[in-house]
Amino acid sequence: MKCIVCGKKHGQHDVSLFGFPTGDTHEFSEWLCRLNLSAKDVMQSSKVCSDHFSQDAFEDPETLQNKLQLVGIPPGTKRKRKLKPSALPNPVRPRPLENELQEVCQAPIHVLQ
């Protein structure tokens, strides 16, 4: 698995991967908008890496550990980062459309004198 936005793989560069929200079309649409993707770009298995979220988008490790202990998972058990239910990815700059990129690349270069 790799990040649909930047291509980083799980474990590479110390990133974790997260699936797109399911069941809430508004939240799913918000993720698409922020990541500059369309629904046709995303498959059920598509993931976004932790680099696209701010630190406050993740559950506090101590709070998470306390929750795990309540369900019988021993202290010190290594767990992956967990996104808060309301977490949204950081906005990604739009990619130029292919025809816009061609226009920029084919435009004459004006040298300042």
Series of mean pLDDT values for 10-residue runs along the chain (113 residues):
92 86 89 92 94 90 60 61 90 66 49 44
Helix (H, G, I), strand (E, B), or coil: what is residue 72? coil
In this structure, are residues 77 and 68 in contact, taking their beta carbons and an 8 Å threshold?
yes
Question: What is the pLDDT at residue 104?
Answer: 47
Q: Which residues pair with 17 in a beta bridge?
A: 49
Q: What does the pLDDT read at residue 35? A: 94
pTM of the predicted protein model: 0.69
CB atoms within 10 A of CB 31: 19
CA neighbor of 48 nearest in space, from 5, 79, 91, 1: 5
CA-to-CA distance for 65 and 75, rounded, in angstroms?
A: 7
pLDDT score for 6: 93
